[in-house]
Amino acid sequence: MKIYFAIPLFILFVLAMGCIGQPAQPQPQNVTTEEVQKPVTEVVKETPKIVLESYPTQINAGEVATFKWSVSGAKGTVMSNAVYIGKESNPVNENTPPEKTTYTLSTVKSDTKYTLPGEFTDSIQIDEPGTYYARAHTVVDGKNIWSGEVSFTVLSPQGQAVKEYSIKVGDSGFEPAEITVKKGDVVKLHFEVEQDVNPAGVRIVSPGWKNAPALKPGELQDVEFVADSSFEYNLYWMAGNLLRGKGKVVVE
C-alpha cells in the first residue's frame, strides 16, 4: 500500500518541478539599423590679420614718426614685418609684394626675425613735407598680408600746413592759370580734367614735378612740392602732342 501511494506523489512532484524549472522565453526586442550620429566639431582655421594700431596724424618735417601694429591668426617666425610709407595711395592684395607698390619709405630691418602672433613698434624719420600714406605688412605662408591704409600729414620744419589749390583743366588751358605762394610753403595742386576735353586725353608737364601721366576726361592728378622758386607748367593734348595752355606758380 505504501508503494502505491508514493508513486502518484512522485509523479506530481516531477510535473511540478518541470513547470517551475521552465526557463522564461525572452521577449522579442525592436532592433534598429540606424547609427547614432555623433556631433562633429569643425576646426576653423583663423585667418592671418595685421592691424596698424597707432600712427602719427601730423608731424613736422625732420621728426620721427612712430607706428604700432599687431599680427594675429598666424604662428611662427617671419623675416618680413614692417610699415611701408609713401606719398601715393596704393591698392593692394595678397599677391602684391612691397616692391610692386610706390611706397618709398619703410621700417624694414634686414636680418631681423619676428615671432607671430604679436605686437610691434617701430619708428622712421621723415624729412620731406607732404601728405603720406602707410600700411603695415607681413608675409604668412607665402601670402602678403596688408593692413588697411592710413594717411597723415608732414608739415614744414617750421610747422606750416600744406596749402592746397584746385585747378580746372580744359581744352584751352587752366583755371586759374596762376597761383601765388610763399617760399617754403608746402603746396598741393589738385588738377581736375573737365569732361569735355579731347577724348584722347591730356598731359600736364612741368619742371616742378616728375610725373606727367596721360589724363582722360574726368580724371584727377595731385602734385605736391615745397615752394622754392617760380615755375611754369604746360598742357598738351595726347593727340598730336599739341600745346593747349600754360599755367604758373609764382613764389614770393
Q: What is the pLDDT of residues 97-137, one digit of tens each?
A: 999 999 999 999 988 999 999 999 999 999 988 889 999 99
The answer, yes or no, to whether residue 80 has pLDDT greater than 70, is yes
% residues pLDDT > 90 (the chain): 67
pLDDT band for 45, please (50, 70, 90 cuts): confident
Position 179 scores a pLDDT of: 95
The values of phi and psi at residue 250, to 5°, are: -100, 120
Q: Quick: pLDDT tens for 158-202.
A: 887 788 899 999 999 999 999 999 988 889 899 999 999 999 999
Segment among 24-33, 35-44, 81-90, 225-234 with least mean pLDDT: 24-33
What HEC string does 122-173 produce?
EEEEECCCEEEEEEEEEEECCEEEECCCEEEEEECCCCCCEEEEEEEEECCE
Question: Residue 109: CB partners within 8 Å, gap ≥ 6?
Answer: 82, 122
Residue range 200-232, pLDDT digits in tens: 999 999 998 888 899 999 999 999 888 899 999
Instruction: Write the pLDDT tens digit of every residue in 101-111.
Output: 999 999 999 88
User: 23-32, 38-47, 95-104, 184-193: which range is least confident on average?
Assistant: 23-32
Secondary structure (3-state) at 27: coil
Average pLDDT, the chain: 87
Cell 574726368 maps to which residue? 218
What is the reported pLDDT for 166?
Answer: 95
**Would you place residue 140 in the very low, low, confident or very high pLDDT band (cuts 50, 70, 90)?**
very high
Write down the pLDDT at residue 157: 83
User: How sure is the predictor about 22, in pLDDT bands with cuts at 50, 70 and 90?
Assistant: low
Q: Please, what's the b/e burial string for 32-43 (b: 16 or more CB within 10 A of its CB; e: otherwise)?
A: eeeeeeeeeeee
Task: For each of the domains in the chain, give its residue range(s) and CATH number, in order of start.
Answer: 49-155 (2.60.40.10), 162-251 (2.60.40.420)
> What is the pTM for the complete model shown?
0.61
Confidence of residue 156 (pLDDT cuts 50, 70, 90): confident
pLDDT above 60 (res 3): no
Q: In terms of DSSP bridges, do strands 150-155 and 58-60 run parallel, antiparallel, or are they unpaired?
A: parallel
Q: Is residue 188 within 8 Å of 148, Cβ to Cβ? A: no
How confident is the model at residue 5, as a pLDDT? 53
State residue 211's pLDDT score: 82
What's the start-to-end Cα distance of the chain, in Å?
Answer: 156
pLDDT of residue 14 exceeding 80: no
